[in-house]
Structure 1
Amino acid sequence: MKARKKKETLLLDDFFRQQIAHLDENENHFTAANYRNARQSVRRFVGEESGCFPLKEVTGQWVSDYVVYMQDTDKLSASSADCYYRILRAVYNKAVKQSRVEEAEEYPFKYINIAVPPTLKRALSETEVCRLRDAKLTGEKARARDVFMFLFYARGMCFVDLFKLKKSDLYGGYINYSRSKTSMPLRVKIIPELRELIDRYEEEDSPYLFPFLHRNRYHKEKEVAEQSALKRVNRQLEEIGKALDFPFPLTTYVARHTWATLVESCGTATAIISQALGHSSERVTRIYMKGMPSHVIDETNEEMLNALIRYNSKKGKGKNKKCLIPCKNRTSHRSVKINP
């Protein structure tokens, strides 16, 4: 009976804090920040009773009222409202999965969806990528540009994953890491462009691939958090983008968008792109994750660079621009043994 009473009195705010603490402990600070924002939104909606609101009272009607509140009272954008809604749903699902709360007869999130307008595509053209790569930059701007190019060359890697990369993650000719958001293990071949950037910023007394990202400019003995490092890099990238007259603000995320867009322009199968980006939540990705050889993705990256980027350099002028990327019907995959 006591165990049942504990389930009935689990508080939403308390469980939210537990999830945030777990994310911080695992160094998923970006996701933890989103959870904090969602928690504050829920607290505003519940009001004075937010600290003692039972999780079991999250019903379909309650969720519906919360969605209306976010859009009408809090004036959140559709994308922000959808983000907080999905976080709330994830928190509820974890409580049920852990048997911390009784599963409702009718799932509270069953009939509720938030329509999010399509995101404006922000991807550089191959010409703009080459202009950025070849721009004469110094100091922080040069470092920010190099971060962007590393993310691009590393198959659209996320900044948070680059921030965490250590020298120990490099072995067997690959960068080996798990994507922070999905925990999907990824292996990225160290192509010459990546090797050049890695060597450029190597410091013997630092375990990190890019030590300058962790260095506080004003207190050298202190390390900066990934969010601070990201803001600093994006601030420099925005100034670079304006100087180069790019049509939208330049950020680290544009590198990810650009890689996916350029690879897609060569006819690459969506499944290959999705797996390369670590989108394990997508149905098409799950289908191909069962055996898609890692070398197929590496070949995709190499061939896109050969077709669209490498030819457009002083050394590569005159090279064939023909796109050799696997086309969309190249989605079959044979059983290939891959070393772990």
Structure 2
Amino acid sequence: MATVAIILNTAKKLSNDEHPITLRVTHNYKRRYYTINGLLTNQSIKFRCRPEYWKPPEAEDNGLGRLRKMFIGFKEANSILEVKLQEAYAILKRYDEQQISFNFDQFELDLKKKEIPVVTSLQEYYSQQIAILEEQGRVGLAGLYFEVQRILNKFKPNAILLDVNYRFLESFEYWLRNERKNKDTTISVKMRNLQRVINQAIEDKFFKAEDYPFGEKKYSINKRLDSKTKKIAITLDKITKLKALNLPPDSWLYLAQQYFLFSYYSRGINFVDISYLKWSDISNTHINYVRRKTRGQFEVPINQHNGTILNYFKENYKVPGGFVFPILDITIHVTLKQQYTRKKTALSAVNHALKKLAEQIDEPSLKLTTNVGRHSYATGLKRSGANTSYITEALGHATQEQTQTYLDEFEKGVIESWENKMFDV
């Protein structure tokens, strides 16, 4: 009788030192190998790996080799391998029961007649996407995927990709709003992430395009959710009071105050870019940096306010890696993931300190965050008399990049004259 096993065919070498995972069929000392990918369609999982990712079958495994945990999507892949092996055993059992002589060609025809249904869990697919993003160094986006995956696991832990339809999305929105007490902006972020995952699943042939649940005539994120973040700006008198606070140097309160003011006086530079700012980005007259989020280039003039802050940190801090501010330390925060975690915890600490500062200027109800400095810059610029075609609610209804586009349309002297009025220079 013929025998079957799922093995890693190390006799056949592929690129990256990988080998194909195959179904090996043995009969009368002859062998044939059928690649798992060759037996399947609509599969994005590549059944190939290096030897260290593979666990060969032992006697008690009945011929079932398995992928180790280090293989991305190992659970789903192993379940497919098990089904294919059982399918092969079922064919051999039928031959035996019906007394059909074994023939390699007939076996291959029978084997390829039936395709296993692809059932992909939502959690497993998210894990695959997270692993890919981390491999690409996109740790910030991977963090968002992980957070949405965690929430979906609480909502429907056993959901498969094909469960994501209009009803699913409607129910998820209701659950987020009523059980999690999320606002529209937060729900919108999660829904857009799920939409992105479904788009990828369609590309990977795990989800049919005709079943796509998003869109204007289906589940429309834009129509159902108000995703505009409320922009909060504070007036010049509050910024003056914040600046006048006499705080212990090097304390978190002092650092939070300086980061906030630096953002305000530097055209709303955000906290992530402040974290990565290096002395090599700074000339005698300008700060030149590339925004981490979009890779857009920015040029900010040095004025007496942000210049004073820069001078203080130059005189008092020597941060490894040439960073201006003591947020990242490349001797500690080596990997991108470590840097991402550090930025996140530092931002949380700064925003917590800013709340304390709001209390110190007798504004306990003021929601002071690093973002408020960015929006206060735009609002102050409008109040200084800047042309509305330049500002046009730039930080209130558009993106940071559109604001920079508006800035580039004006001569530097004109922009700086508006800033001088606003900063009272």
Give the TM-score of the pair, scaled to structure 2.
Answer: 0.59
Amino acid at match of 2:367: P
The gaps in structure 2 that reach 5 residues or longer are: 1-37, 46-117, 334-340
Q: 1:134 Cα deviation (Å)?
A: 2.9
- Verify: 1:242 aligned to 2:359, yes or no: yes
Counterpart among 79, 88, 97 of residue 194 in structure 2? 88
Please name the residue that 2:233 is paired with.
123
Q: Distance in 2 between matches of 1:238 and 1:259?
A: 19
1:28–1:99 CA distance, 2 compared to 1 (3 A): closer
Counterpart among 259, 266, 289 of residue 154 in structure 1? 266
Q: Distance in 2 between matches of 1:145 and 1:264?
A: 23
Counterpart among 324, 327, 333 of residue 213 in structure 1? 327
Q: 1:155 Cα deviation (Å)?
A: 1.3
Q: Distance in 2 between matches of 1:169 and 1:9?
A: 50
Q: Distance in 1 between matches of 2:309 and 2:359?
A: 24
- Contact 2:43–2:205 (8 Å) recurs in 1: no
Q: 1:109 Cα deviation (Å)?
A: 1.3
The gaps in structure 1 that reach 5 residues or longer are: 312-340
Q: Distance in 1 between matches of 2:201 and 2:323?
A: 38
Residue-pair matches, total: 296
Secondary structure at 1:296 match in 2: coil
- Contact 1:263–1:304 (8 Å) recurs in 2: yes
Q: Distance in 1 between matches of 2:306 and 2:298?
A: 13
1:22–1:188 CA distance, 2 compared to 1 (3 A): farther
Q: Distance in 2 between matches of 1:135 and 1:307?
A: 23
Over residues 31-54 of structure 1, what are the superposed CA-to-partner deviations in whole Å (9 max), with x where a residue is unaligned?
44333221111112222x24xx23
Moved more, 233-242 or 298-307: 298-307
1:128–1:41 CA distance, 2 compared to 1 (3 A): same
| Structure with greater proportional strand content | 2
Counterpart among 262, 283, 289 of residue 380 in structure 2? 262
Q: 1:93 Cα deviation (Å)?
A: 2.6
Q: 1:133 Cα deviation (Å)?
A: 2.2
Q: Distance in 2 between matches of 1:242 and 1:150?
A: 20
- Verify: 1:180 aligned to 2:286, yes or no: no
- Contact 2:319–2:325 (8 Å) recurs in 1: no
1:106–1:154 CA distance, 2 compared to 1 (3 A): farther
Which structure carries more relative contact order (alpha carbon 8 Å, separation 6+)? 1
- Contact 1:213–1:229 (8 Å) recurs in 2: yes
Counterpart among 214, 217, 223 of residue 109 in structure 1? 214
Please name the residue that 1:6 is paired with.
44
Please name the residue that 1:302 is paired with.
416
- Contact 1:260–1:273 (8 Å) recurs in 2: no
Q: 1:168 Cα deviation (Å)?
A: 3.4
- Contact 1:122–1:248 (8 Å) recurs in 2: no
- Contact 1:179–1:186 (8 Å) recurs in 2: yes
Aligned residues: percent identity? Answer: 22
Give the TM-score of the pair, scaled to structure 1.
Answer: 0.71
Amino acid at match of 1:206: P
- Contact 2:231–2:372 (8 Å) recurs in 1: no
1:272–1:125 CA distance, 2 compared to 1 (3 A): closer
1:117–1:99 CA distance, 2 compared to 1 (3 A): closer
Please name the residue that 1:315 is paired with.
none
Largest Rg, 1 or 2: 2
Q: 1:95 Cα deviation (Å)?
A: 3.9
Q: Distance in 1 between matches of 2:138 and 2:413?
A: 30
Counterpart among 300, 303, 314 of residue 189 in structure 1? 300
Matches within 5 A, 1:281-292: 285=402, 289=405
1:104–1:89 CA distance, 2 compared to 1 (3 A): same
Q: Distance in 2 between matches of 1:273 and 1:27?
A: 35
Q: Distance in 2 between matches of 1:21 and 1:297?
A: 46
Secondary structure at 1:187 match in 2: strand
- Contact 2:276–2:328 (8 Å) recurs in 1: no
1:104–1:281 CA distance, 2 compared to 1 (3 A): farther
Q: Distance in 2 between matches of 1:46 and 1:126?
A: 48
Over residues 115-148 of structure 1, what are the superposed CA-to-partner deviations in whole Å (9 max), with x where a residue is unaligned?
3386554211012222222332222222221111
Q: Distance in 1 between matches of 2:127 and 2:421?
A: 49
